[in-house]
């Protein structure tokens, strides 16, 4: 793999850019691999990458029913933060945030990580008390965050209306080193690095069944034939329940659509990410000038990647109250992704009843920010059978009642 650099760009400019290689290979599947990862989104590719980088396991196939990064990885609003209340959540999200800091250098691929800061508005007294509690928990967890007053909110975001008609801004939970990254570039960078290690990234290859022998996974059946494996990782976001059913077990998840939109581009006016959980809207400005807007998940189970119009109306109405200047903007485009929700709104990273089969799912609306940390933890779980970052996120917690209730802690699981 040729390294990307300023010198490489200059060299190729003189060669009419004829020397660039494909970022990753597109091989046909082999008969058998040590590990098969189902799902070539950010989490699946990150898992494969850290299997190779940390444990030297490179006989790996990452199979994807569509195109690489075509699921939720390319359908989110790119927010990265780690200021969660519960200790297990803060640990894995902070690991992920820290990995994002140097990911461009690690992958030799510019993921456009921007630690611009994320603020979560407190717009009710109850929410303010909750964020003050989170601030203290984060201090104990080693996560740098602080509660700021309305005047500082206004200083950081001049376009905000802190005296809203329904919900005035009473302060905000502010994480300075949080931010955003280019979601597509994260997937592309991981895929390029995996391919360079000799792993097979196999697109347009849907799984149709999972085979087992004596209670242990042995192969997956796909539209490109049978692929044998010693270990299987299922990392397919909203379709986790369907894959688990093929493997012979059930998951406590439900799938719903989560949607977002971007406005037409405007001049720079906002250089932080703002989340308003009371009215359930969040917004940032992209490098191209678009206002990136997201809201809540649909209130009914579905597998559509479109979403419902009433959610867009509710989200935009709430954000116009908080940011009056955006009221005249036109919507440029809108999209949706399929997210899988657990009862406690925390993920599942776990062994399964089928030996050799591992599951990574249930990230709900906050999966992108966890991509590197999730991959790091799942690689360790698959390679060693244990990871301290995944212990609390086992499937057994639902049977034992050890919930990690971030929906109550944060008011939203973004």
Mean per-residue pLDDT of the chain: 92
The pLDDT value given to residue 310: 80
Q: For residue 23, is it within any domain?
A: no
Contacts of residue 91, defined as CB under 8 A and 6 or more positions apart, other chains included, come to 141, 389
Pairing outcome for strands 32-38 and 225-234: parallel
Pairing outcome for strands 179-180 and 32-38: unpaired
Span 145-171, average pLDDT = 94
Q: For residue 4, is it within any domain?
A: no
The residue among 304, 320, 342 that closes a domain is 342
The pLDDT value given to residue 200: 97
Q: How far is CA 349 from CA 17, 55, 68, 271, 361, in A?
A: 42, 18, 22, 34, 7
With CA atoms as reference, report the closest residue to 241 among 361, 395, 413: 361
Q: For residue 19, is it within any domain?
A: no
Q: For residue 161, is it within any domain?
A: yes
The pLDDT value given to residue 411: 45
Q: Which residue has the tokens 């000038």?
A: 289
Higher pLDDT, 355 or 406: 355
The pLDDT value given to residue 407: 67
pLDDT value at 239 more than 70: yes
Give the CATH number for residue 378. Answer: 3.50.50.60
The pLDDT value given to residue 408: 54
Lowest mean pLDDT among 74-78, 99-103, 250-254: 74-78
C-alpha span between 97 and 100 (Å, rounded): 5
Give the CATH number for residue 144. Answer: 3.30.9.10
In this predicted model, what pLDDT tens digit does every residue of 261-301 receive, in sequence order? Answer: 999 999 999 999 999 988 888 999 999 999 999 988 887 88
328 and 349 together in one domain: no
Confidence category of residue 410, pLDDT binned at 50, 70, 90 = very low
Lowest mean pLDDT among 173-177, 311-315, 377-381: 311-315
268 and 389 together in one domain: no
165 and 272 together in one domain: yes
Q: Are 67 and 184 in contact (CB under 8 A)?
A: no
Q: For residue 357, is it within any domain?
A: yes
In this predicted model, what pLDDT tens digit does every residue of 299-336 receive, in sequence order? Answer: 788 888 776 778 888 889 889 989 999 999 999 988 88
The pLDDT value given to residue 390: 96
The residue among 293, 314, 342 that closes a domain is 342
Q: For residue 18, is it within any domain?
A: no
Q: Are 59 and 31 in contact (CB under 8 A)?
A: no
204 and 97 together in one domain: yes
Span 246-263, average pLDDT = 92
154 and 241 together in one domain: no
- HEC readout, 239-301: HHHHHHHHHCCCCCEEEEEEEEEEECCCCCCCCCEEEECCCCEEEEECCCCCEEEEEEECCCC
Please give the DSSP secondary-structure letter assigned to residue 327: G
281 and 397 together in one domain: no
With CA atoms as reference, report the closest residue to 164 among 295, 274, 329, 298: 274
Confidence category of residue 413, pLDDT binned at 50, 70, 90 = very low
Confidence category of residue 124, pLDDT binned at 50, 70, 90 = very high
C-alpha span between 92 and 109 (Å, rounded): 23
Count H helices and E strands in the chain, helices first: 12, 18
58 and 69 together in one domain: yes
406 and 289 together in one domain: no
350 and 402 together in one domain: yes
Q: Are 336 and 259 in contact (CB under 8 A)?
A: yes
Q: For residue 151, is it within any domain?
A: yes
The residue among 320, 342, 364 that closes a domain is 342
206 and 242 together in one domain: yes
Q: Are 377 and 334 in contact (CB under 8 A)?
A: no
Paired tokens of 219: 């192969």
Paired tokens of 389: 């970052």
pLDDT value at 353 more than 50: yes
Paired tokens of 352: 């399964």
pLDDT value at 33 more than 90: yes
Q: For residue 2, is it within any domain?
A: no
Looking at the structure of the chain, the number of domains it has is 2
DSSP secondary structure of 349-401: EEE-SSBTEEEEE--TT--GGGHHHHHHHHHHHHHHS--TTTGGG-THHHHHT
C-alpha span between 96 and 198 (Å, rounded): 25
C-alpha span between 257 and 300 (Å, rounded): 8
Domain coverage including residue 245: 28-82+84-108+183-253+344-410
188 and 333 together in one domain: no
98 and 207 together in one domain: yes
In this predicted model, what pLDDT tens digit does every residue of 184-223 receive, in sequence order? Answer: 999 999 999 999 999 999 999 999 999 999 999 999 999 9
């Amino acid at each position: 793999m040729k390294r990307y650099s300023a010198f490489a760009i200059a060299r190729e400019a003189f060669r009419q850019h004829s020397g660039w290689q494909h970022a990753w290979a597109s091989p046909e599947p082999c008969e058998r691999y040590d590990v098969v990862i189902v799902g070539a989104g950010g989490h699946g590719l990150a898992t494969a990458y850290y299997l190779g980088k940390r444990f030297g396991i490179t006989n790996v196939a990452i199979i994807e029913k569509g195109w690489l990064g075509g699921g939720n990885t390319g359908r989110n609003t790119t927010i990265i933060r780690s200021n969660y209340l519960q200790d297990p959540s803060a640990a894995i999200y902070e690991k992920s945030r820290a990995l994002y800091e140097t990911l461009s250098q690690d992958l030799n691929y510019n993921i456009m990580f921007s630690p611009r800061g994320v603020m979560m508005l407190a717009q009710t007294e109850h929410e303010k008390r909750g964020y003050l509690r989170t601030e203290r928990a984060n201090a104990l967890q080693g996560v740098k965050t602080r509660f700021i007053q309305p005047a500082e909110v206004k200083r950081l975001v001049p376009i905000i209306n802190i005296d809203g008609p329904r919900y005035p801004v009473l302060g905000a939970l502010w994480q300075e080193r949080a931010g955003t990254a280019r979601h597509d570039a994260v997937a592309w960078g991981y895929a390029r690095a995996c391919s360079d290690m000799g792993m097979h990234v196999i697109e347009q290859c849907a799984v149709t069944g999972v085979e087992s022998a004596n209670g242990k996974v042995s192969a997956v059946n796909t539209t490109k034939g049978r692929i044998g494996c010693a270990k299987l990782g299922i990392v397919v976001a909203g379709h986790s329940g369907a894959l688990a059913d093929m493997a012979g077990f059930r998951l406590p998840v439900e799938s719903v659509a989560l949607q977002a939109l971007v406005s037409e581009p405007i001049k720079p006016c906002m250089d932080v990410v703002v989340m308003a959980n009371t009215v359930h809207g969040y917004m940032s400005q992209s490098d191209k000038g678009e206002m990136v807007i997201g809201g809540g998940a649909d209130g009914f189970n579905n597998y559509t990647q479109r979403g419902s119009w009433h959610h867009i109306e509710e989200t935009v109405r709430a954000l116009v109250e908080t940011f009056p200047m955006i009221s005249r903007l036109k919507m440029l485009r809108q999209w949706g992704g399929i997210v899988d929700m657990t009862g406690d709104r925390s993920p599942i990273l776990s062994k399964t009843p089928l030996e050799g089969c591992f599951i990574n799912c249930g990230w709900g609306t906050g999966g992108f920010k966890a991509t590197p940390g999730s991959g790091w933890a799942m690689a360790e779980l698959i390679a060693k059978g244990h990871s301290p970052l995944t212990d609390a996120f086992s499937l057994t917690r639902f049977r034992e009642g050890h919930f990690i209730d971030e929906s109550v802690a944060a008011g939203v699981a973004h």
